[in-house]
Amino acid sequence: MSSAKSSSTISKTQLSYLFFIIGLVLLIIPELNGLDFLPVGIRTNFALFFYPGIVCVIIGYILK
């Protein structure tokens, strides 16, 4: 009897998709700066998400 091992590792393609989607979300967050219902203290930090978003998209593209 041979038992099949269930692998819980993430493949390179899944990691690529994960980085790409996280990067896209981080690129969209600064666009929410114009929403008036969010407190000003939160909206001022949205610009910081742009550059990590670009890095995540590039990492996702390289892993493709």
Q: Is 37 domain-assigned?
A: yes
pTM given for the model: 0.71
Contact 56, 19 (CB under 8 A): yes
Q: Is 25 domain-assigned?
A: yes
Q: Is the pLDDT of residue 63 over 90?
A: no
User: 16 is in which domain, residue-wise?
Assistant: 12-63
Alpha-carbon gap, residue 59 to 12, rounded angstroms: 11
Q: Is the pLDDT of residue 39 over 90?
A: no
Q: Is 2 domain-assigned?
A: no
Element (H, E) at 27: helix 12-28
Number of independent structural domains in the chain: 1
Q: Is 6 domain-assigned?
A: no
